[in-house]
Structure 1
Amino acid sequence: MSKKPTTDLPHRCTWCGDDPLYVAYHDNDWGVSVHDDRKLFEMLTLEGAQAGLSWITILRKRENYKLAFDNFDIDKVAAYDDSKLESLMGNAGIVRNRLKISSTIDNARAVQKIRQEHGSLDTFLWSFVDGETRHNRWKTLAEIPAQTELSVQLSKALKGYGCRFVGPTICYALMQSIGMVNDHTTDCFRHRKLITLTGTDSL
């Protein structure tokens, strides 16, 4: 007797669709707490690069970005000169936007200042949520805000150190991606999983 095909598949946030790369990002990365400065700088860079583009476009270029920017070594990127900038402008594997590329270099230098003052980028960013993930309880994508009062504060603070491409909307996307907030919808299997992983259930 043949078995019935299973339909008991995990329910996901609808934004990731069925693209395997997007689904993998949703299931393994989005909303997971990140505390490594290099990874935090990577996400700061990628979220800025996304401005005006789709996230899947950036995901498809993610490995190219790692190669182009020395695996997001903050000190190495901060030391890039004009010749390196021109070289990056010729790299078809990344978004060849001069403002975005130069902002990545400027942001690395800004992060150096942040680390000098706060000890780490991790300490600085997570201080905005008192070091704990804030678990929201959105039922639909339509409820999720594009920015919040907290992301406005973070944007202002980052700009104060000289960061660019860090508007409130980009900052909120960063907060979502690095797990400062859990914005998986409540019907998504990852929402409860992240609460379990963090051991917190704060709003």
Structure 2
Amino acid sequence: MSHYCDTAPGHPYHGPYHDHEYGFPVCAENELFERLALEINQAGLSWLTVLKKRDAFHSAFDGFEVDRVAAYDDNERERLLNNAAIIRNRLKINAVIHNASVIQQLRHSHGGFHHWLEHHHPLPHGEWVKLFRRTFRFTGPEIVREMLMSTGYLPGAHRDDCPVQQRIIAAGPAWARSGGACE
């Protein structure tokens, strides 16, 4: 079985994501929201499809600015459903918009998405899945696993012998520390 560390390096889309983003700690609200939205959109498709459409997603969802996306109305939903540059799935689009409003609520209850994640860390994968399902829409086990691995809350993004793994550990991902990398 091949690992992402075997296939991603050198690839025009997978390579930069593998080398500079996947598994590194993410603290900024818009970036955390983007990762959640991209993982939701990946469901049933290849990650390459999502990476190829990433710039279009970023543009279509106003840079994943939570307040803007949470305020989307029916006209914005239709605009997204008619945008051939992104994945046009009504359930996924509705989930992303709904999840933006949830993130707004997390600001009041926990000080933001990042602080909510930190508050619940560490949890085993199964408990994360239960928590995400109670909190967000369209968040099954694989979406939750990949979102949390990609943002440094669960280990497994890279093999131990991958050169990127040492850079990730130096950056202080949640799974490898007791303090906060973003504090």
The structure carrying a bigger helix percent of its residues is 2
Q: Could you list the per-position Cα deviations for residues 135-187 of structure 1 after superposition, in whole angstroms to 9, with x for gaps in the alignment?
A: xxxxxxxxxxxxxx7232223223323x2111122111011111113421112
Find 1:156's aligned residue among 106, 130, 137: 130
Counterpart for residue 75 of structure 2: 83
**Larger mean Cα displacement after TM superposition, 27-36 or 109-118:** 109-118
Q: Which runs of 5+ in 2 are unaligned?
A: 179-183
Give how far 1:199 is off. 8.3
Q: Are 1:195 and 2:164 matched, yes or no?
A: no
- For residues 77 and 46 of structure 1, the distance between their equivalents in structure 2, rounded to whole angstroms, comes to 14
Deviation at 1:105, TM superposition (A): 0.7
Q: Is the 8 A contact 1:182 1:191 kept in 2?
A: no
Higher mean alpha-carbon deviation, 150-159 vs 191-200, is at 191-200
Alpha-carbon distance between aligned partners in 2 of 1:159 and 1:113, rounded to the nearest angstrom: 16
Aligned partner of 2:171: which letter?
L
Q: In the comparison of the two structures, how many residue pairs are matched?
A: 173
Map 1:2-21 → 2, pairs under 5 A: 13-16=5-8, 18-21=10-13
> Would the alpha carbon gap of residues 115 and 188 (structure 1) be closer, same or farther in structure 2, given more than 3 Å must change?
same
Gaps of 5+ in 1: 1-11, 131-148
The answer for the alignment partner of 1:126 in structure 2 is 118
Stretches of 4+ aligned residues off by more than 6 angstroms:
none
For the pair 1:95 / 2:68, whether they are aligned, the reply is: no
Check whether the contact 2:132–2:144 (CA below 8 A) recurs between aligned residues.
Answer: no
* 1:112-147: CA deviation from partner (whole Å, max 9, x where unpaired): 1222111110011133335xxxxxxxxxxxxxxxxx
Rounded Cα–Cα distance in structure 2 between residues aligned with 1:15 and 1:116: 41
Q: How far did residue 107 of structure 1 move?
A: 0.8
Determine the C-alpha separation between the residues in 2 that align with 1:92 and 1:182: 35
Task: Compare CA radii of gyration and give the structure with the larger one.
Answer: 1
For residues 67-87 of structure 1, the C-alpha deviation after alignment (integer angstroms, 9 at most, x for no partner) is 101111111111111111111
Q: Report if the CA contact (8 A) 1:61-1:93 is conserved.
A: yes
Distance 2:173 2:130 in 1: 30
Counterpart position of 1:9: none
- % of aligned pairs identical? 38
Amino acid across the alignment from 2:144: C
Contact 2:42 2:50 in 1 (8 A): yes
Q: Which of the numbers 153, 160, 178 marks the counterpart of 1:180?
A: 153
Aligned counterparts of 1:99 and 1:199: Cα–Cα separation in 2: 31
1:30 equivalenced with 2:26 (yes/no)? no
Q: Structure 1 counterpart of 2:167, which letter?
A: K
Please tell me whether the aligned partners of residues 74 and 108 of structure 1 are also in contact (alpha carbons under 8 angstroms). Answer: yes
Q: Aligned pair in 2 of structure 1 residues 188, 74: CA closer, same or farther (>3 Å)?
A: same
Asked if residue 111 in structure 1 is aligned to residue 111 in structure 2, the reply is: no
Asked if the contact 1:31/1:177 (under 8 Å) is kept, the reply is: yes
The alignment's C-alpha RMSD in Å is: 2.0
The residue type equivalent to 2:137 in the other structure is R
Q: Per-residue CA shift, 1:9-64, capped at 9, x if unaligned?
A: xxx71142642221111000001100001100000000000000111110111111
Secondary structure of the equivalent of 1:181?
coil
TM value normalised by structure 1? 0.78
Equivalent residue of 2:124, what SS? Answer: helix
Rounded to whole Å, the distance in 1 between the matches of 2:44 and 2:7 is: 17
